[in-house]
Structure 1
Amino acid sequence: MATTQHYLWAVGHFILLLSSLRYFMAWVLFRGPSPWWYKVSFTGALMSYAIVCQKSLGTPQPNAAWIKKALLDENIQYFAMAIFWWMSKPVAIALLPYAIFSLFHALTFSRTTLMPQFLPPGPPATAGGPPTPHPLAKRLQLWVKSNYDSAMKLVAFIELGILLRVVLGAITFQNSLLTPLFYAHFVRQRFYQSAFTRTAVSVVYGYIDNFVRKPGNPPVAINIWDKFTMVVSRWAGSTLAPQQPAGGARAQ
């Protein structure tokens, strides 16, 4: 049975999903989206992530072990980014990863908690067995299962797009200089903790590298690219992620 905390978690995701949809509709239709909907969207995110973080980490403890554990927790990372986005000037694309996550959470909550209260169960699979879920719930479960990995891959590419957006935004004074620094650290952590992010980085790097090294390109462009990638690699080499023993597989 779902608890009050579980319902509040779901309410946060529904608020985020519906508010971000309203914000994006105005953005796509060039109607000047209201920052209010942006704030409401991230308020829903903060509500849901706060519950998840409290459940997984418990009450904050003033010691190094708890802090390190918190910094390595991906929910804490997304919670911290949600706080940052809530406090910052709106960056529309920043809502997309949260909206995608909330879509899957909202659908799963609807299937497992809401639908059984309103839709009759299906017939038992075997004589005397328990009833099966309603056909609509089955289709919803299949859709979520078959599209989850693709959605997470999309999120990884979107997050790289957000990084590009805030870097360009800092150059053109559309967002603060702190934003790309803060978000770059977030992406670095995602790289070490998410196979989807590593794949996205590899694809983008390969595309840019092939483009830069095309025959006929000036050597200075290749030199600049090589120096840039060297600096980024050195910066990204230090991370809070726990080191694995030699030959071991990195935990996902």
Structure 2
Amino acid sequence: MATTQHYLWASGHFLLLLASLRYILAWVTFKSVSAWWYKASFTGALISYAIVCNKSLGTPQPNIAYFRRALLDENVQYFLLAFFWWTSKPITITLLPYMIFSLFHALTFTRTTLMPQFLPPAPPATAGGAPQPHPFAKKLQVWIKSNYDTAMKVVAYTELVIFIRVTLGAITFQNSLISPIIYAHFLRQRYYQSAFTRDALAETSSRIDALVRKPGNPPVLLQVWDKVQMVTRRWAGVALTPNAGVPQNNEGR
């Protein structure tokens, strides 16, 4: 039986999904749109992630152990990032990762909680067995499972594009100078916690390396690229306790 808290968690994802869809559709069609929709999107994210963080970490405690555990929790990281975007000047692409997460959560909530209330269950698979989910619910479950990994890959690459966007934005004064610093730290955490992020970074780095090392390119280009790689490795290699092996609440992200 779904609790009030579970419905509130789901409402945050539905709000995020619908508001961000409204904002992005206006953006891609070059129509004006109120920043209210942008803030509403991340308000939904804050609602959902606050509930997940509270469930996974418990009541906040004023001690270093709790603080360290919270900072290494990926749901807390996405919550803090959502709060940062909520307080910042709108950058449309920042909505995409949250939209993808919310799409899968909204579909799962629809399948497991809403559909059973409106669609009759299918007959038991065996005599005396439990009723089976409605065929449409089964199809939805198959779609979610078959597309989840692809969606997470899209999220990983999108997050790299966001870093490029906020970095260029800082250089051209389109967003705050602190944005790329905060987002770089976020990506560093994702690198340790997400195989999808590691794969995306490895693939992107490999493609850039191949382009830079093409015959005929100026030697300075290779020198700059090697320097960037060296600085990145040193920065990313600073001691960090990975969150590997720590179970995450399946309502998060």
Q: TM-score, normalised by structure 1?
A: 0.96
Which range moves more in the overlay, 110-119 or 213-222?
A: 213-222
Cα displacement string for residues 74-116 of structure 1 (whole angstroms, at most 9, x for unaligned residues): 0000000000000000010000000000000000000000000
Task: Report if the CA contact (8 A) 2:16-2:42 is conserved.
Answer: yes
Q: Does 1:145 align with 2:142?
A: no
Kindly state the Cα deviation for residue 5 of structure 1 after the two structures are TM-superposed: 0.4
**Aligned pairs for 1:50-129 within 5 A:** 50-129=50-129
- Which amino acid is the alignment partner of residue 174 of structure 1? Q
Partner of 1:17: 17
- Flag structure 1 segments of 5+ consecutive residues without an equivalent: 244-249
Name segments (4+ residues, structure 1) moved above 3 Å: none
How many angstroms apart in 2 are the aligned matches of 1:7 and 1:239?
A: 39
Task: Report if the CA contact (8 A) 1:53-1:76 is conserved.
Answer: yes
Aligned residues: 246
Kindly state the Cα deviation for residue 219 of structure 1 after the two structures are TM-superposed: 1.1
Kindly state the Cα deviation for residue 158 of structure 1 after the two structures are TM-superposed: 0.2
* % same residue: 70
Kindly state the Cα deviation for residue 251 of structure 1 after the two structures are TM-superposed: 4.3
CA spacing shift, 1:227–1:102, aligned 2, 3 Å: same
- Which amino acid is the alignment partner of residue 102 of structure 1? S
- Flag structure 2 segments of 5+ consecutive residues without an equivalent: 247-253
Query: What is the RMSD computed on CA atoms of the aligned residues?
Result: 1.1
- Which amino acid is the alignment partner of residue 116 of structure 1? P
Partner of 2:214: 214
Cα displacement string for residues 46-75 of structure 1 (whole angstroms, at most 9, x for unaligned residues): 000000000000111111110110010000
Kindly state the Cα deviation for residue 241 of structure 1 after the two structures are TM-superposed: 2.3
Q: 1 or 2 for the larger relative contact order (CA 8 Å, sep ≥6)?
A: 2
Partner of 1:227: 227
**Aligned pairs for 1:187-206 within 5 A:** 187-206=187-206
How many angstroms apart in 2 are the aligned matches of 1:200 and 1:228?
A: 17
Task: Report if the CA contact (8 A) 1:193-1:241 is conserved.
Answer: no
Partner of 1:6: 6
Task: Report if the CA contact (8 A) 1:46-1:79 is conserved.
Answer: yes
Kindly state the Cα deviation for residue 242 of structure 1 after the two structures are TM-superposed: 4.0
Partner of 1:246: none
Q: Indicate the SS of the match to 1:130.
A: coil
